[in-house]
Structure 1
Amino acid sequence: MAEMKQFGLDVELGDDVAQGHYSNLAIISHSTSEFILDFATVLPGVQKARVKSRIILTPEHAKRLLRSLQENIVRYETNVGKIEIPKPQPASDGGPKMGQA
């Protein structure tokens, strides 16, 4: 079990949580009193994405998370390089197209 000191607070990281979960999809919803972040994994050829983790935050903490992510992305890009987000490709039905050989 790992322990970390952050902002004068002892943070305990259990072995099961330390392994983490891979996520390539985040679904964000909210109510007047909370933000809900669902982290899921989408795999090729699988029709259903399975939510691996759900985090519920107050609006204030959601905004703090946003700011912290922004700061960390700036730091990352300064050290490693710009993060490029590819533009989505138009969906193809896979069949032959009219006028194409």
Structure 2
Amino acid sequence: MEKQANGQINIELTDDVAQGIYSNLAIITHSPAEFVVDFIRMMPGMPKAKVQSRIILTLEHAKRLMMALKDNVAKYEAVHGPIKNSEPGGSMPMPFGGPTAQA
């Protein structure tokens, strides 16, 4: 990352990072100095889930991220309609349900 004279930042996105990491669960913890967000991928029928990525944020950046997410969700919903919350009360998702497959 290079900071240019006019205040712009040149950000590089490598091919491996551009692929992204899928996560369907995030666990957030904090200390007096920072927030830690663990992104997890839960798979059907698997009793154990693995942390795919951990992001550590300063308090200020955690608040900025929260505001940016709120703003972007509002913009999305203005165009596409409300995002449905499948869990009543926004609780933590339970293990996958539905029928199990047999081979």
TM-score by length of 1: 0.78
Structure 2 partner of 1:15: 15
- How far apart are the structure 1 equivalents of 2:86 and 2:26? 17
Identity of aligned residues (%): 54
Structure 1 partner of 2:42: 42
- How far apart are the structure 2 equivalents of 1:38 and 1:86? 21
Equivalent AA in structure 2 for residue 41 of structure 1: R
Question: Helix, strand or coil: the match of 2:12?
Answer: strand
Select the structure of larger CA radius of gyration: 1
Counting matched residue pairs gives: 85
> Displacement of 1:87 after TM fit?
3.0
Tell me, which stretches of 5 or more residues in structure 2 are unaligned? 1-6, 89-93, 96-103
- How far apart are the structure 2 equivalents of 1:28 and 1:60? 15
Aligned-residue CA RMSD in angstroms?
2.1
Question: Helix, strand or coil: the match of 2:51?
Answer: strand
> Displacement of 1:86 after TM fit?
1.5
Structure 2 partner of 1:87: 87
Equivalent AA in structure 1 for residue 57 of structure 2: L
- How far apart are the structure 2 equivalents of 1:87 and 1:60? 29
- How far apart are the structure 1 equivalents of 2:35 and 2:87? 27
For residues 51-98 of structure 1, give each alpha carbon's deviation from its aligned partner in whole angstroms, at most 9, with x where no partner exists: 11000000110000000000000000011111010135x99xxxxxxx
- How far apart are the structure 1 equivalents of 2:87 and 2:22? 22
Structure 1 partner of 2:91: none
Query: Runs of at least 4 residues of structure 1 off by over 6 A?
Result: none
Structure 1 partner of 2:72: 72
Question: Helix, strand or coil: the match of 1:13?
Answer: coil
